[in-house]
């Protein structure tokens, strides 16, 4: 920078300082004038009281009338939204939680599961089952479908058979899994005792009317019935539910064990996203569950594990792996034609007649087929397209609504991926965003690292090595958040040129919603300092 430039900057700084001082003085003077004018108006109003009051009444009345009109508009808000013809008849059919009565193109897998589990209806222990397949291939829906059929058939033939479902993405520790299962069976046992108490109270009333009713029972007197009722009530009160935290794990396990073995029954425990449980807590839970049958006296337990990860059993203890994976069922991805059949079956129930144009379902199926045959993605697309059509107040879902839905879902996916990134990856991504926002193109790793270090200092985070930051950039590239291309610089070696692959404003907003990154008050000087070097 030249000496002349220094002089110019000094002059500008001096000028700015003078103007700021003048502004403060002018502002104070204006405020004082405003106070004087306010006092003058108050005095004038008090001198012309009746006239002022009359004028004020007129104004208030006018204001009330306007407010009333505004209230009328607000009350009609939902009337406007409901004015169009409905598109959906039963939207819940398009949600992943819905279990349909028929599952197209999954007959082989369903029949395979039924063949294994039918032994439960004979009072025997079914083999444990591991179900594999990518997201949206119908694993959970098929398993729930078979489970519902199993329970309804067990009621039909008066066989004690129960299925308990646990989502291990939510319930992801051994303590939580055992506590949730224990409390479910404690509740079932209470209900069982309550039913027995109701039966005995009914018997007691019949015996009071006719003592000969005792002849058909194991009781010798009303006193025996009373004594049994008393012990059952005490037993029901004696069940202690497991708190979500605080107990030793072995106490939780023993409580669960006793609750399961309270009465004779076959229990199927379905662990969805089982790989998440193993990843978070190891294989202790599976080890304990898979060995229960050797200790149980009245009940029998079978496990169904559902996983998106075909290799998660590689991390299991060999004993757990051999007992858990007695039967394995693989769910292949759907192709576009199969997805079309699935959507067609759901659409017939979900939408009003004539609500879909002919090209909507094929387009949804084509988009989802590109995502590894994900039926869940196809259903989300169709539902979102319908919702967008409703917002447009049209009576049909068109191709354009599907394309808008694809963009919206893709943005939602990006938001979710960015939101769940580790803090260090978020800092690296934030550095890339700051560089792009300040006009830097073909960003290299060194530039990212300089900004990254400043961000770490700002939030007091550990600073990783440049090599590790390069690895994090590669991970962001794999997730599709950034595009990192290795380019040759001749004798200067090779470097990565980095650019964002996601919307910059939305991504930045997600990053700043993180409590730690939200503490960064002014990152602009960091970027400016980087450019001035």
Q: Left (φ > 0), alpha (ψ -120 to 50) or beta: where does 262 sit?
A: alpha
Q: Is the predicted pLDDT of residue 74 greater than 70, yes or no?
A: no
- Residue list, annotated binding site: 137-141, 334, 346
Average confidence score pLDDT of the chain: 81
pLDDT of residue 521: 60
CB atoms within 10 A of CB 147: 21
Question: Residue 269 belongs to what H/E stretch?
Answer: strand 266-272
The more confidently predicted of residues 281 and 435 is: 435
C-alpha distances out from residue 303 to 265, 270, 286, 313, 324, Å: 14, 6, 9, 15, 7
User: Which domains are assigned to the chain?
Assistant: 106-330 (3.40.50.300), 336-416 (1.10.8.60), 421-513 (1.10.10.10)
Q: Is the predicted pLDDT of residue 4 greater than 50, yes or no?
A: no
Contacts of 418 (CB under 8 A, 6+ apart): 426, 429, 481, 502, 507, 510, 511
Closest residue by Cα to residue 145 from 197, 104, 88, 179 = 104
The more confidently predicted of residues 393 and 453 is: 453
Closest residue by Cα to residue 139 from 174, 99, 92 = 99
What phi, psi does 176 have (nearest 5°)? -65, -40
Q: Is the predicted pLDDT of residue 264 greater than 90, yes or no?
A: yes
Hey, what are 196's tokens?
Answer: 């027995």
Strands 494-500 and 482-488, by their bridges, are: antiparallel
Please tell me the distance from the alpha carbon of residue 32 to that of residue 405, in angstroms, as a whole number. Answer: 57
Per the CB < 8 A criterion, the answer to whether 316 and 278 are in contact is: yes
Q: Token match 């059993």: residue?
A: 313
Query: In this predicted model, what pLDDT tens digit does every residue of 294-348 receive, in sequence order?
Result: 899 999 999 999 998 878 888 788 888 877 778 999 999 999 999 999 999 999 9
Hey, what are 91's tokens?
Answer: 């939207």
Q: Is the predicted pLDDT of residue 236 greater than 80, yes or no?
A: yes
The percentage of residues in the chain with a pLDDT greater than 70, rounded to a whole number, is 80
Hey, what are 471's tokens?
Answer: 């690895």
pLDDT of residue 400: 93
pLDDT of residue 210: 85
Summarize the confidence of residues 378-385 as an average pLDDT: 93
Of the ranges 56-70, 94-108, 145-159, the best mean pLDDT one: 145-159
Q: What is the CA radius of gyration of the chain?
A: 35
The more confidently predicted of residues 496 and 194 is: 194
Burial class (CB in 10 A: 0-12, 13-18, 19+), 334: buried
What phi, psi does 394 have (nearest 5°)? -100, 160
pLDDT band, very low/low/confident/very high, at 139 (cuts 50, 70, 90): very high
Give the torsion through C-alpha atoms of 347, 352, 358, 359, to 10 deg: -60
The more confidently predicted of residues 352 and 33 is: 352
- Residue list, annotated binding site for ATP: 137-141, 334, 346
Query: In this predicted model, what pLDDT tens digit does every residue of 382-430 receive, in sequence order?
Result: 999 999 998 888 889 999 999 999 888 878 888 888 999 999 999 999 9
pLDDT band, very low/low/confident/very high, at 522 (cuts 50, 70, 90): low
The beta strands (E) that lie in 384-509 are given as: 482-488, 494-500
pLDDT of residue 5: 45
């Amino acid at each position: 920078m030249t000496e002349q430039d220094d002089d110019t900057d000094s002059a500008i700084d001096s000028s700015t300082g003078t103007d700021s001082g003048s502004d403060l003085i002018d502002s104070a003077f204006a405020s004082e004038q405003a106070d004087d004018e306010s006092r003058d108006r108050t005095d004038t109003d008090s001198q012309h009281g009746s006239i002022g009051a009359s004028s004020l009444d007129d104004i208030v009345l006018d204001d009330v009338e306007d407010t009333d009109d505004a209230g009328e508009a607000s009350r009609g808000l939902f009337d406007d939204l409901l004015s169009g013809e409905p598109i959906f008849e039963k939207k819940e059919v398009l949600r992943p939680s819905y279990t349909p009565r028929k599952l197209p193109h999954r007959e082989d897998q369903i029949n395979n599961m039924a063949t294994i589990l039918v032994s439960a209806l004979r009072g025997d222990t079914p083999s444990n089952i591991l179900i594999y397949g990518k997201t949206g291939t119908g694993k959970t829906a098929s398993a729930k479908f078979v489970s519902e059929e199993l329970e309804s058939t067990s009621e039909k033939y008066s066989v004690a058979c129960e299925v308990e479902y646990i989502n291990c993405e939510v319930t992801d520790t051994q303590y939580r899994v055992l506590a949730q299962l224990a409390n479910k069976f404690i509740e079932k046992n209470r209900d069982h005792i309550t039913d027995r108490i109701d039966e005995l109270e009914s018997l007691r009333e019949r015996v009071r009317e006719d003592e000969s009713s005792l002849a058909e029972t194991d009781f010798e007197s009303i006193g025996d019935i009373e004594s049994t009722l008393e012990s059952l009530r005490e037993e029901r009160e004696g069940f202690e539910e497991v708190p979500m935290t605080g107990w030793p794990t072995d106490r939780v396990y023993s409580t669960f064990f006793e609750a399961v073995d309270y009465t004779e029954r076959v229990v199927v425990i379905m662990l969805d996203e089982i790989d998440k449980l193993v990843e978070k807590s190891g294989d202790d839970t599976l080890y304990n569950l898979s060995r229960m049958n050797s200790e149980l006296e009245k009940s029998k337990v079978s496990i169904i594990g559902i996983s998106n990860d075909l290799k998660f059993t590689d991390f299991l203890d060999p004993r757990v792996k051999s007992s858990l994976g007695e039967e394995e069922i693989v769910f292949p991805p759907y192709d576009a034609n199969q997805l079309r059949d699935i959507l067609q079956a759901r659409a017939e129930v979900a939408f009003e007649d004539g609500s879909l144009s002919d090209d909507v379902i094929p387009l949804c199926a084509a988009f989802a087929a590109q995502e590894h045959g994900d039926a869940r993605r196809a259903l989300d697309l169709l539902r979102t397209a319908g919702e967008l059509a409703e917002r447009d107040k049209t009576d049909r879902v068109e191709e354009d609504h599907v394309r808008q839905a694809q963009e919206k879902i893709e943005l939602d996916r990006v938001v979710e991926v960015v939101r769940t990134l580790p803090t260090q990856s978020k800092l690296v991504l934030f550095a890339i965003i700051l560089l792009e926002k300040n006009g830097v193109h073909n960003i290299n790793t060194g530039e990212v690292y300089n900004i990254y270090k400043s961000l770490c200092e700002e939030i007091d985070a550990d600073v990783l090595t440049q090599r590790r930051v390069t690895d994090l950039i590669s991970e962001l590239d794999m997730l599709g958040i950034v595009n990192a291309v290795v380019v040759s610089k001749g004798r200067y070696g090779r470097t990565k040129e980095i650019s964002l692959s996601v919307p910059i404003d939305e991504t930045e907003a997600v990053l700043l919603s993180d409590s730690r990154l939200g503490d960064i008050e002014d990152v602009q000087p960091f970027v400016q300092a980087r450019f001035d070097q």
